[in-house]
């Protein structure tokens, strides 16, 4: 035991003596037996995925779970013990001594349970990430026996079914360039969507970045002189710059992405047709691990004959969603609010304007952002990036296998007309 523990033992012994003198039943005034308390508002019955437990010696138990936004750490005493003081820790690094734990509480009256809440955004983690979690408590019995309980575990943050992933460390997919062209950006909702794409909160170093990268290299279909030119995206560029960001051109070629500037927060990949090498994927994964956001903009098959490349890229980044190449809602269409799904990117939006979008099939951990006009087909989605690096050995670049081109649509136009 450290000196501080002996000090607490002395204080508790003094309190016990004073309590014994003042109570004819031999139970001190602090030994009121309350019902279970849940000071953080968490309920394990509403946990996402599994709930983890670890014993605190013979005197208690630590329970850990999470919902879509919060990690909960509950410390519970085993009768007849009660908590007089408790401490909790959750983080990526290993915990230090209990006195350094960021969450602490003195319990007067003593309690049976106490729950601490840690916002996942503050911890900088997403579903699938592993945290070090620790709990510590001082406990007493009605007969004034003293004990110290502690527990420690590794806990994998659980994915919530149908819950959106937190912003940052994510990949956002639009299989349509037109929400960002000048005609669609005349819609204030599209402008708001762009603001939301670049204005998000993340505790990682990229969360305070001041640059947005546009990559219109890699033999892009829409390119820097085509439908993704500065002129065609002038309103979008003005919106981003109006939020205080500088737009920087990347213009990558196959194998050229070896690092990204430290002040970049978001990168837009516009219709690339050259395969990303594993080393480049790992650079983007590192970027994501620091809180960066990747926005991949594909298109419908016929205009964008790189569907295999897109699906390969998404899979390597940890998204299970796939582009089917199917074209829907061709020509400009404004999708109603019913097509939108709640997310940080769609927050505040009441509709969105698109033109001839390809259809996405989301995987179990991918979250739709909006559907087509029938509200049945996913057109945009987001997923948390798997930051595990890929092996640097790689087979030859994938050959693109065009699917059937949609009859009646103009393959030279992203709108299909």
Query: What are 272-284's pLDDT values in tens digits?
Result: 999 999 999 999 9
pLDDT at 388 over 80: yes
d(CA 27, CA 21): 9
Mean pLDDT of 395-399: 48
pLDDT confidence of residue 284: 98
In this prediction, residue 180 has a pLDDT band, given cuts at 50, 70 and 90, of very high
Residue-level pLDDT at 27: 30
Mean pLDDT of 400-416: 60
H-type helices in 320-362, by residue range?
A: none
Two structure tokens written together for 255: 């194998």
Helices (H) and strands (E) in the chain, counts: 6, 17
Q: pLDDT-derived band of residue 405, with 50, 70 and 90 as boundaries?
A: low
3-state secondary structure of 375: coil
pLDDT per residue as tens digits for the range 267-310 = 999 999 999 999 999 999 999 999 999 999 999 999 999 999 99
pLDDT of residue 406: 65
pLDDT-derived band at 365 (thresholds 50, 70, 90) equals confident
How far is it, in rounded angstroms, from Cα 404 to Cα 390?
32
Mean pLDDT for 24-53 is 57
Q: Give the angle 304-416-403 at the CA atoms, nearest 5°.
A: 40
Q: So what's the pLDDT on residue 290?
A: 95
Per-residue pLDDT tens for 56-85? 999 999 999 998 788 999 999 999 999 999
Q: What is the mean pLDDT of residues 15-37?
A: 34
**Confidence (pLDDT) at 4:** 40
Question: Quick one: pLDDT at residue 278?
Answer: 95
What architecture does CATH give domain 23-156? Answer: Sandwich (2.60)
Domain 170-384 in CATH 3.30.70? The answer is: no
Residue 9 has pLDDT above 90, yes or no: no
To the nearest whole percent, how much of the chain has pLDDT over 90?
70
Section 199-214 average pLDDT: 94
CA separation, residue 62 to residues 40, 73, 86, 142, 384 (Å): 15, 7, 11, 22, 28
pLDDT band at 198 (very low <50, low <70, confident <90, very high): very high
State the average pLDDT for the chain.
Answer: 86
What pLDDT is stored for residue 44 in this prediction? 83
Give the residue with greater pLDDT, 203 vs 199: 199
CA distances from 245 to 44, 209, 235, 248 (A): 41, 8, 14, 9
Higher-pLDDT residue of 149 and 30 is 149
pLDDT of the residue at 181: 97
Positive or negative, the Cα torsion across 162, 164, 165, 171? positive
Residue 265 has pLDDT above 50, yes or no: yes
Residue 156: strand pairing partners = 130
Does residue 7 have a pLDDT over 50?
A: no
Q: What is the pTM of this model?
A: 0.64
Of the listed ranges 17-31, 33-47, 106-120, 334-348, the one predicted with least confidence: 17-31
Give the 3-state DSSP-derived string for the chain, with helices as H, strands as E and coil as C: CCHHHHHHHHHHHHHHHHHHHHCCCCCCCCCCCCCCCCCCCCCHHHCCCCCEEEECCCCEEEEEEECCCEEEEEEEECCCCEEEEEEEEEECCCCCCHHHCCEEEEEEEEECEEEEEEEHHHHCCCCCCEEEEEEEEEEECCCCCEEEEEEEEEEECCCCCCCCCCCCCEEEEECCCHHHCCCHHHCHHHHHHHHHHHCCCCCCHHHHCCEEEEECCCCCCCCCCCCCCCCCCHHHHHHHHHCCCEEEECCCCCCCCCCCCCCEEEEEEECCCCCCCHHHHHHHHHHHHCCCEEEEECCCCCCCCCHHHHHHHHHHHCCCCEEEEEEEEEEEEEECHHHECCCCCCCCCCCEEEEEEEEEECCCCCEEEEECCCCCCEEEEEEECCCCCCCCCCCCCCCCCCCCCCCCCCCCCCCCC
pLDDT at 28 exceeding the cut of 60: no
Residue 217 has pLDDT above 80, yes or no: yes
**pLDDT, tens digit, 9 for 90 and up, residues 110-169:** 999 999 999 888 898 888 899 999 999 999 999 999 999 999 999 999 987 767 777 899
What pLDDT does residue 295 have? 98
| Residue 306 or 394, more confident | 306
> How confident is the model over 90-125, as pLDDT tens digits?
999 999 999 999 999 999 899 999 999 998 888 988
CATH 3.40.50, the chain: domain bounds: 170-384
Residues 371-385: tens digit of each pLDDT:
999 999 999 999 999
Instruction: Please name which of 30, 43, 44 lies closest in space to residue 83, comparing C-alpha atoms.
Output: 30
Q: CATH 2.60.40 residue ranges in the chain?
A: 23-156
Share of the chain above pLDDT 70, in %: 84
């Amino acid at each position: 035991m450290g000196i501080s523990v002996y000090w607490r033992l002395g204080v508790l012994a003094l309190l016990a003596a004073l309590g014994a003198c003042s109570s004819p039943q031999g139970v001190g005034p602090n030994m009121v037996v309350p019902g279970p308390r849940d000071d953080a508002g968490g309920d394990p019955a509403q946990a996402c995925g599994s709930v983890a437990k670890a014993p605190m010696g013979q005197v208690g138990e630590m329970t850990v779970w999470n919902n879509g936004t919060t990690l909960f750490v509950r410390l519970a005493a085993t009768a007849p013990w009660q908590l007089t003081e408790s401490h909790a820790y959750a983080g990526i690094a290993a915990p230090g001594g209990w006195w350094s734990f960021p969450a602490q509480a003195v319990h007067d009256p003593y309690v049976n349970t106490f729950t601490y809440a840690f916002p996942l955004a503050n911890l900088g983690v997403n579903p699938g990430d592993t945290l070090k979690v620790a709990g510590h408590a001082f406990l007493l019995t009605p007969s004034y026996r003293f004990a110290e309980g502690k527990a420690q575990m590794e806990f994998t943050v659980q994915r919530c079914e149908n819950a959106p992933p937190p912003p940052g460390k994510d990949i956002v997919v639009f299989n349509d360039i037109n929400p960002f062209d000048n005609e669609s950006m005349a819609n204030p909702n599209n402008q708001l969507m762009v603001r939301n794409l670049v204005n998000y909160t993340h505790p990682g170093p990229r969360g305070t970045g001041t640059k947005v990268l546009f990559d219109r290299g890699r033999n892009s279909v829409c390119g820097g002189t085509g439908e993704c030119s500065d002129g065609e995206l002038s309103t979008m560029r003005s919106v981003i710059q109006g939020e205080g960001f500088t737009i920087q051109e990347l213009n990558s070629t196959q194998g050229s992405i070896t690092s990204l500037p430290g002040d970049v927060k978001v990168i837009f990949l516009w219709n690339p047709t050259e395969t990303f090498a594993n080393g480049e994927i790992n650079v983007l994964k590192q970027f994501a691990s620091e809180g960066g956001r990747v926005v991949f903009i594909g298109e419908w098959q016929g205009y964008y004959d790189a569907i295999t490349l897109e699906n390969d890229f998404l899979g390597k980044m940890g998204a299970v969603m796939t582009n089917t190449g199917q074209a829907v809602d061709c020509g400009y269409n404004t999708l109603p609010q019913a097509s939108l799904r709640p997310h940080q990117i769609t927050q505040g939006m009441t509709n969105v304007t698109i033109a001839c979008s390809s259809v996405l099939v989301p995987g179990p951990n991918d979250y739709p952002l909006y559907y087509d006009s029938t509200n049945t087909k996913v057109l945009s989605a987001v997923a948390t990036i798997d930051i595990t690096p890929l092996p640097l050995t790689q087979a030859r670049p994938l050959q693109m296998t065009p699917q059937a081109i949609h009859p009646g649509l103009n393959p030279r136009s992203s709108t299909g007309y």
